[in-house]
């Protein structure tokens, strides 16, 4: 068979196939073509990746990449190669009133794949900066169910779910009302929902109780108040009940939504997140988030095995957005891969509450493959 690109002799780590072996990976016509030893093809572009890890392309399930259209947006193409991300899922930066601009001016021109959760609020997250912070869910006049369903149905190729933000900061005194409307939109559009939670009201339990199988609670390891940890230091019973019925738990690190203290307690109780995402945006790009590779490294520092960390940024988010062609190196899948190493050393890592943990290793991205094209890390 003829190949366009071959990665030679890397450690292929693909949790979707329970694969952890030294092998070549070949790509052709924008798809994964083969995995095995000694792959060759006349004229193929070849890169020796011996000593490095080859995984499916990283998927960051919670990002804000409506660059230029919102105050919190970052440039996906500039971030991709440093972070190892080949698919950015934007978490509600745009709503039905401005999704067309997001699609035309950011998603379509981007070299890096961008998918999106559509915000149920008409203008998405429209006022999120260091000086101006207005919770878009605080005014129910902006919640636009008919428009959201219409836009979601018209953009099935890029919209993978519905987004809503609830809590005192995002919604003021609107409580669960925006969530209840967003759930109706998601049901009508046949899509999963991602729910942001910040400070109460509503409570962690009130939000979880409303979510359906396949819906995503982001900021799941947030600090007090509205932490998943009860006063006794144990996870709230509601989190186990929600997982049992199929609710997914996403990290969504962000500026104020990830706590090492909470993560240690949850992991000690056997409750790991389903997906690890950065919630990268303009206010945390310079820290504490930086990028997805840094966020993943924090879970290595917490003792989570590498294969589980990789799963939480590849096959698990792919399943959450119902894209079985992503997050895997199975032949026939989209030709995305991340080439990285786990670099030993001493690396200070900071959570959203200011706690610093010194990790003994970190994920260092060496290159990515996007749609079959190889690009060195920046």
What are the tens digits of pLDDT across the range 283-321? 999 999 999 999 999 999 999 999 999 999 999 999 999
How many other C-beta atoms can be found within 10 angstroms of the C-beta atom of residue 256? 19
What are the tens digits of pLDDT across the range 65-115? 999 999 999 999 999 999 999 999 999 999 999 999 999 999 999 999 999
Q: What is the pLDDT of residue 289?
A: 98
Q: How far is CA 247 from CA 52, 229, 273, in A?
A: 34, 17, 11
Q: What is the pLDDT of residue 224?
A: 96
**Gap between the Cα atoms of 82 and 58, Å rounded:** 12
- Asked if residue 275 has pLDDT above 90, the reply is yes
Q: Chain-wide mean pLDDT for the chain?
A: 97
Q: What is the largest CA-CA distance in the chain?
A: 65
Confidence of residue 279 (pLDDT cuts 50, 70, 90): very high
Confidence of residue 1 (pLDDT cuts 50, 70, 90): confident
Give me the percent of the chain exceeding a pLDDT of 70: 100
What are the tens digits of pLDDT across the range 177-200? 999 999 999 999 999 999 999 999
Which tokens belong to 146? 């008919």
Domains of the chain: 5-55+332-341+362-376 (2.30.40.10), 58-320 (3.20.20.140)
Which tokens belong to 219? 């900021």
Strand residues in 43-180 grouped as ranges (E): 45-48, 53-56, 58-63, 85-91, 113-119, 159-166
Q: What is the pLDDT of residue 232?
A: 80
- Asked if residue 64 has pLDDT above 90, the reply is yes
Q: What is the pLDDT of residue 231?
A: 81
Q: What is the pLDDT of residue 378?
A: 86
């Amino acid at each position: 068979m003829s190949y366009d690109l071959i990665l030679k002799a890397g450690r292929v780590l693909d949790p979707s196939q329970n694969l952890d072996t030294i092998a070549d990976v070949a790509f052709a016509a924008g798809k994964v073509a083969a995995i095995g030893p000694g792959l060759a093809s006349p004229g193929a572009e070849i890169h020796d990746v011996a000593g490095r890890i080859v995984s499916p392309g990283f998927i960051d399930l919670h990002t804000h990449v409506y660059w230029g259209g919102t105050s919190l947006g970052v440039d996906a193409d500039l971030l991709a190669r440093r972070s190892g991300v080949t698919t950015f899922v934007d978490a509600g930066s745009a709503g039905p009133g401005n999704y067309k601009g997001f699609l035309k001016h950011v998603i379509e021109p981007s070299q890096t794949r961008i998918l999106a959760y559509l915000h149920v609020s008409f203008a998405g997250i429209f006022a999120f900066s260091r000086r101006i912070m207005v919770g878009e869910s605080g005014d129910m006049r902006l919640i636009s169910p008919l428009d959201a369903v219409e836009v979601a149905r018209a953009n099935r190729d890029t919209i993978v779910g519905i987004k809503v933000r609830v809590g005192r900061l995002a919604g003021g005194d609107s409580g669960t009302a925006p969530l209840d409307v967003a759930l109706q939109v998601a049901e009508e559009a046949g899509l999963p929902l991602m729910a942001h939670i910040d400070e109460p009201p509503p409570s962690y339990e009130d939000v979880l109780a409303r979510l359906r199988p396949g819906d995503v609670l982001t900021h799941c390891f947030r600090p007090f108040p509205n932490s998943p940890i009860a006063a006794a230091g144990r996870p709230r019973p509601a989190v186990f009940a929600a997982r049992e019925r199929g609710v997914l738990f996403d990290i969504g690190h962000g500026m104020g939504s990830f706590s090492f203290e909470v993560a240690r307690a949850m992991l000690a109780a056997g409750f790991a997140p389903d997906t690890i995402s950065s919630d990268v945006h303009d206010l945390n790009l310079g820290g504490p988030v930086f990028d997805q590779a840094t966020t993943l490294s924090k879970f290595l520092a917490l003792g989570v095995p590498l294969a589980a960390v990789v799963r939480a940024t590849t096959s698990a988010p792919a399943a959450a957005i119902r894209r079985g062609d992503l997050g895997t190196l199975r032949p026939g899948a989209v030709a995305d891969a991340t080439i990285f190493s786990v670099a030993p050393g001493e690396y200070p890592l900071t959570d959203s509450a200011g706690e610093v943990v010194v990790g003994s290793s970190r994920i260092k991205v060496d290159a990515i493959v996007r749609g079959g094209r190889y690009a060195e890390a920046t």
